[in-house]
């Protein structure tokens, strides 16, 4: 291979290849030339080019979520690197492996009046799993070896335990464009043994508690689909041993269990004690429902175990054990133990859930055109086996109110829950996906991230539903802002616009529906099999949406 004549760069390419990196997203620049030349010329990687680094990083994150591989991103020096920051914070809290390669000016020229330079070393300090800096212009064997070690450690850190973004800052001297024949092979050390067995758990005590507690709840946050876990939960549910609470983003369809926490909780609050767990086990990452957090905070379980390779999270201020393992390995051990079967406790939860489900269906039947009604239609219309991307923040909250579909895979940026990269992430994930992908997004999130479409990398199939309620409708829903004079301007960011011209600019096929009948007319044509991106903008009544949602909660919870 003809690679950069900077030996550590050529060896980084070799190491990335050997350690399973297959895709890179570059943003144009000059300082990163040795990296561009080497990765592209090697022919070993799919190399994309996305000019806006903010988009590039979210796009790469989407690719990494889909492929379960580390995706590398690479940019030039200066503020370019800072545009990665929003996506890195999301990847950090969501546990997505990204290798961040920032080219830098030579260290001796930082803060010396040379252009396009900032202090890049460890610049992502608060939201990066690990951060390294290459020895500049390494040529001595010991320096080459030290840089190899950085490359290897960085990729190991990306991919091990709770995954995440890792940064290598790479100071580079001119000339940047020299190449040479690469004839080496980096010898990787034997893989470090990250065996879960080394974790010392007092399993006797935990198993004892599991057998003692008769009111057990498992709360399942965001997760990728996991068939084995799903089977286990279906078994526990069937045998009445445990109450299983999931959200759509748990991607764990357990027939008959509670999958719509948010519509349930309000009614429980008045009779909280009889719903109280003695043992709560939380697994997965972020939970969308704020109500469940509030309930468990006020009505604490006697024991709370958090099972995760991430860090201990005491979300309910009741944490008794933190179990740093993957959930399946741990829960599987428990499943061998006989545990009490307090059917009454499960019946209480499930009975109430079924009651609300009936009322939910009644309300859906009769409610007026609104965000709520649109979602009730949409969630049936989405093609079979699709991946559903839920935009922040109104969209993902509405979707939690409806029973999940077993055939769908649900995804949302719930690490930090920003609106900044919903479209870019959906673009990146669907770019590598063989399924049909559907993004439902609000208008503020959509316009915020319109650079998601400013590049040449088109996913095979993406449909975008743009819910145009003329602003950030979340602020009409949550209590507080709706009572202030500043609602329109500073919270909701009320705007009247449509996406027609923007879609023309980005060569996205555009359709629109001003009301329910127009929606009904076009929805099946919209979800046709044609490849590429289409967008359907659906107008909903801004001033009515929040009232109908309030009516909904009142209706399902009234006696």
262-301 residues in contact with its own copies (CB under 8 A) are: 285-288, 290, 293
Kindly state the smallest distance separating residue 347's Cβ from its own copies, in Å: 29
Instruction: Determine the 3-state secondary structure of 462 from DSSP.
Output: strand
- Residue from 1, 44, 45, 116 that binds its own copies (CB under 8 A)? 116
Taking the alpha carbons at both ends of the chain, their separation in whole angstroms is: 73
Q: Which of residues 486-505 bind its own copies (CB under 8 A)?
A: 486, 489-493, 497, 501-502, 504-505
Per CB under 8 A, 318 contacts its own copies = no
Stretch of 132-140, 332-340, 444-452, 542-550 lying at the interface with its own copies (CB under 8 A): 444-452
Cβ(76)–Cβ(103) under 8 Å?
A: yes
- Residue from 95, 164, 171, 472 that binds its own copies (CB under 8 A)? 472
Kindly state the smallest distance separating residue 398's Cβ from its own copies, in Å: 16
Kindly state the smallest distance separating residue 395's Cβ from its own copies, in Å: 14
Q: Which of residues 217-256 bind its own copies (CB under 8 A)?
A: 221
Cα separation, 431 vs 311, in Å, equals: 31
Q: Rg for the chain (alpha carbons), in Å?
A: 25
Kindly state the smallest distance separating residue 63's Cβ from its own copies, in Å: 17
Kindly state the smallest distance separating residue 170's Cβ from its own copies, in Å: 16
Per CB under 8 A, 180 contacts its own copies = no
Q: 165 has which bridge partners?
A: 98
Per CB under 8 A, 320 contacts its own copies = no
Per CB under 8 A, 21 contacts its own copies = no
Q: 23 has which bridge partners?
A: 46
Q: Which residues contact 116 (CB under 8 A, 6 or more apart)?
A: 31, 76, 77, 78, 105
Give the position of tokens 């001297």. 173
Kindly state the smallest distance separating residue 470's Cβ from its own copies, in Å: 13
**Closest CB to its own copies among residues 299, 450:** 450
Per CB under 8 A, 478 contacts its own copies = yes
Per CB under 8 A, 454 contacts its own copies = yes
Site track for its own copies across 32-71, x = CB under 8 A: -x--xx--xx-----x-x-xx-x-----------------
Cβ(245)–Cβ(217) under 8 Å?
A: yes
Site track for its own copies across 71-100, x = CB under 8 A: -------xxx-xx-xx--xx-xx-------
Kindly state the smallest distance separating residue 219's Cβ from its own copies, in Å: 11
**Closest CB to its own copies among residues 235, 454:** 454
Cβ(320)–Cβ(303) under 8 Å?
A: yes
Cβ(48)–Cβ(455) under 8 Å?
A: yes
Cα separation, 238 vs 401, in Å, equals: 24
Cα separation, 448 vs 52, in Å, equals: 13
Per CB under 8 A, 130 contacts its own copies = no
Kindly state the smallest distance separating residue 225's Cβ from its own copies, in Å: 21
Angle 248-245-559 from CA coordinates, rounded to 5°: 100
Stretch of 191-199, 251-259, 354-362, 469-477 lying at the interface with its own copies (CB under 8 A): 469-477
Q: Which of 127, 108, 134 is nearest to 119 (CA)?
A: 108
- Give the CA count within 13 Å in the CB-facing half-sphere of 539: 14
Per CB under 8 A, 26 contacts its own copies = yes
Q: Which residues contact 431 (CB under 8 A, 6 or more apart)?
A: 59, 62, 63, 66, 457, 458, 459, 460
Angle 81-82-87 from CA coordinates, rounded to 5°: 95
Per CB under 8 A, 13 contacts its own copies = no
Per CB under 8 A, 395 contacts its own copies = no
Beta strands across the sheet bearing 243-246 = 243-246, 216-220, 279-283, 303-307, 319-323
**Closest CB to its own copies among residues 356, 549:** 549
Q: What is the 3-state secondary structure (H, E, C) of 192-216?
A: CCCCHHHCCCCHHHHHHHHHHCCCE
Kindly state the smallest distance separating residue 344's Cβ from its own copies, in Å: 30
Per CB under 8 A, 416 contacts its own copies = yes
**Closest CB to its own copies among residues 80, 96:** 80
Q: Which of residues 503-532 bind its own copies (CB under 8 A)?
A: 504-505
Q: Quick one: tokens of 104? A: 């830098």
Number of helical (H) and strand (E) elements in the chain, helices listed first? 20, 19
- Residue from 175, 208, 256, 532 that binds its own copies (CB under 8 A)? 175
Stretch of 61-69, 172-180, 197-205, 249-257 lying at the interface with its own copies (CB under 8 A): 172-180
Stretch of 5-13, 337-345, 402-410, 473-481 lying at the interface with its own copies (CB under 8 A): 473-481
Exposure class string for 221-246: b at 16+ Cβ within 10 A, else e? bbbeebeebbebbbebbeeebbbbbb
What values do phi and psi take at 363, rounded to 5?
-65, -45
Cα separation, 115 vs 88, in Å, equals: 25
Stretch of 29-37, 140-148, 187-195, 205-213 lying at the interface with its own copies (CB under 8 A): 29-37
- Residue from 236, 448, 519, 552 that binds its own copies (CB under 8 A)? 448
Cα separation, 451 vs 458, in Å, equals: 13
- Residue from 28, 225, 238, 532 that binds its own copies (CB under 8 A)? 28
Stretch of 65-73, 254-262, 440-448, 524-532 lying at the interface with its own copies (CB under 8 A): 440-448
Cα separation, 447 vs 466, in Å, equals: 10
What values do phi and psi take at 280, rounded to 5?
-110, 130
Size of the site for its own copies (CB under 8 A): 86
**Closest CB to its own copies among residues 82, 146:** 82
**Closest CB to its own copies among residues 186, 261:** 261
């Amino acid at each position: 291979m003809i690679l950069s004549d900077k030996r550590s760069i050529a060896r980084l390419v070799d190491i990335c290849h050997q350690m399973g990196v297959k895709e890179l997203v570059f943003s144009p620049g000059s300082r990163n030339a040795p990296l561009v030349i080497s990765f592209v010329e090697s022919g070993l990687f799919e190399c994309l080019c996305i000019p806006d680094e903010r988009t590039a990083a979210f796009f790469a994150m989407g690719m990494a979520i889909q492929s379960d591989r580390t995706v590398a991103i690479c940019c030039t020096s200066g503020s370019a690197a800072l545009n990665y920051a929003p996506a890195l914070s999301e990847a950090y809290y969501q546990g997505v492996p990204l290798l961040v390669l920032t080219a830098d000016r030579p260290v001796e020229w930082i803060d010396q009046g040379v252009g396009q330079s900032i202090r890049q070393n460890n610049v992502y300090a608060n939201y990066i799993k690990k951060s390294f800096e290459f020895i500049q212009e390494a040529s001595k064997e010991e320096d080459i070896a030290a840089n190899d070690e950085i490359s290897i450690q960085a990729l190991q850190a990306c991919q091990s335990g709770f995954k995440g973004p890792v940064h290598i800052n790479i100071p580079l001297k001119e000339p940047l464009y020299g190449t040479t024949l690469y004839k080496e092979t980096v010898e990787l050390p034997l893989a470090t043994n990250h065996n879960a067995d080394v974790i010392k758990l007092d399993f006797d005590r935990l198993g004892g508690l599991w057998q003692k507690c008769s009111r057990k709840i498992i709360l399942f946050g965001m997760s990728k689909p996991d068939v084995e876990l799903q089977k286990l939960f279906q078994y526990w549910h069937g045998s009445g041993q445990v109450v299983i609470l999931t959200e759509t983003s748990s991607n764990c369809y357990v027939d008959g269990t509670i999958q719509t926490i948010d519509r349930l909780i309000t009614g429980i609050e008045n009779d909280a004690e009889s719903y109280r767990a003695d043992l709560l086990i939380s697994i997965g990452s972020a939970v969308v429902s704020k109500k469940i957090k509030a309930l468990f905070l006020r009505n604490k379980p006697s024991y709370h175990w958090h099972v995760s390779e991430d860090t201990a999270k005491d979300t309910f201020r009741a944490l008794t054990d933190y179990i740093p393992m993957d959930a399946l390995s741990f829960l599987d051990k428990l499943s061998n133990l006989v545990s009490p079967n307090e059917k009454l406790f499960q019946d209480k939860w499930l009975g109430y859930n079924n009651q609300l489900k009936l009322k939910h269906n009644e309300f859906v039947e009769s409610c007026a055109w609104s965000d709520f009604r649109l979602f009730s239609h949409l969630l049936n219309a989405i093609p079979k086996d699709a991946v559903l991307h839920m935009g922040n923040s109104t969209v993902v909250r509405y979707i939690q109110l409806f029973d999940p579909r077993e055939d769908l895979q649900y995804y949302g940026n719930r690490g930090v829950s920003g609106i900044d990269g919903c479209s870019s992430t959906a673009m990146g994930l669907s770019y590598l996906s063989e399924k049909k992908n559907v993004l439902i997004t609000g208008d503020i999130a959509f316009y915020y991230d319109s650079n998601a479409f400013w590049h040449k990398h088109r996913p095979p199939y993406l449909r975008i539903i743009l819910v145009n309620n003329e602003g950030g409708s979340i602020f009409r829903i949550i209590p507080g802002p709706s009572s202030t004079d500043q609602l329109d301007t500073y919270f909701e960011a009320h705007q009247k616009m449509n996406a027609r011209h923007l879609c023309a600019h980005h060569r996205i096929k555009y359709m629109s529906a001003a009301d329910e009948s127009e929606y009904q007319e076009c929805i099946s044509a919209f979800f046709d099999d044609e490849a590429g991106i289409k967008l359907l903008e659906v107008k909903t009544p801004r001033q009515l949406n929040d009232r109908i949602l309030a009516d909904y909660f009142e209706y399902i919870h009234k006696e």
